[in-house]
Amino acid sequence: MALRDIKPTRSELIDLKRKIKLSERGYKILKMKRDGLIMEFFKILSEAKDSRGELLRKYKHAVDMMAVANTVEGAIGVKAAAFSVKETPEITLKSKNIMGVVVPEIESSKVKKSLADRGYGVLGTSPVIDETASAFEDLVEAIIESAEIETTMKRLLDEIEKTKRRVNALEFKVIPELTAARDFIKMRLDEMEREELFRMKKIKARGSA
């Protein structure tokens, strides 16, 4: 199709200008969201590093205490103490919102227990069983905390990637294409006006001849 055959209208130009404004506004909002999410991610990342370190420390301590308990009480004694526990930890999963991203909020109860709540006979076991039980209760709490932080990080990272793709699409594709179309229509409308003006002058010249 020849350029002369393309005849856009003023309404098309107005519509394109409106779309460009909306796209630019959306681009600014998404950039702000992306930057905000990145800041939140790095805050959580700092917590995650501490959480991972604490988790590894508590895991090592629990494993060491288990080895000591097996030596002192024997494997059967340790298993008997473990099976005597009547109440298991309870996990409640809630959610919270970070800049439009729904992330988990994990609450736990009955993880840390008193000597009476552990179920085994205090007189029939050595203090190392209590220390081992306490070490594993600490480990469970650390696992729950780490699970919340790690899941939050993953969801934030997924949302950052989605937002980055939308920002890049607007910046490098949508807005440039809309701008190019606007400029072309404006140029073509100007040409059409000049052609019409030239045509009217010719008609006027013929009428006065």
Domains (range + CATH), the chain: 10-197 (1.10.287.3240)
Amino acid 202: pLDDT: 80
Model pLDDT, residue 121: 59
3-state secondary structure of 101: strand
| Spatial distance between the Cα atoms of 140 and 25, rounded to a whole number of angstroms | 47
Query: Which residues of the chain fall below pLDDT 50?
Result: none
Q: 0.85 cut: is pTM over it?
A: no
**What torsion do the CA atoms of 195, 199, 200, 203 make, to the nearest 10 degrees?**
180
Note the pLDDT tens digit of each residue in 39-69: 999 999 988 989 999 999 999 999 999 999 9
| Whole-angstrom distance, CA of residue 139 vs CA of residue 112 | 10
Percent of all residues in the chain with a pLDDT value above 70, rounded to a whole number: 91
Q: What is the C-alpha separation between 185 and 95, in angstroms, rounded?
A: 49
Closest CA to 33 of 179, 177, 170: 170
Q: What is the largest CA-CA distance in the chain?
A: 126
Q: Contact 146/47 with Cβ under 8 angstroms?
A: no
pLDDT (0 to 100) of residue 179:
96
State residue 2's pLDDT score.
Answer: 53
Which of 112-127 are b and which e, b meaning 16 or more Cβ less than 10 Å from the residue's Cβ?
ebeeeebebeeeebee
The residue type found at 38 is I
Check residue 114 and give its pLDDT.
72
Q: What is the pLDDT of residues 10-49, one digit of tens each?
A: 899 999 999 999 999 999 999 999 999 999 999 999 889 8
- Environment class of 65 (CB within 10 Å of its CB; exposed 0-12, middle 13-18, buried 19+): buried
Residue 48: enclosing H or E segment and its boundaries? helix 10-83
DSSP state of 122: S
What's the DSSP call for residue 4?
G
Residue carrying the six token digits 């910046």:
171
Give the number of other Cβ atoms within 10 Å of residue 192's Cβ: 15
- How much is the pLDDT for 120? 65
Note the pLDDT of residue 198.
83
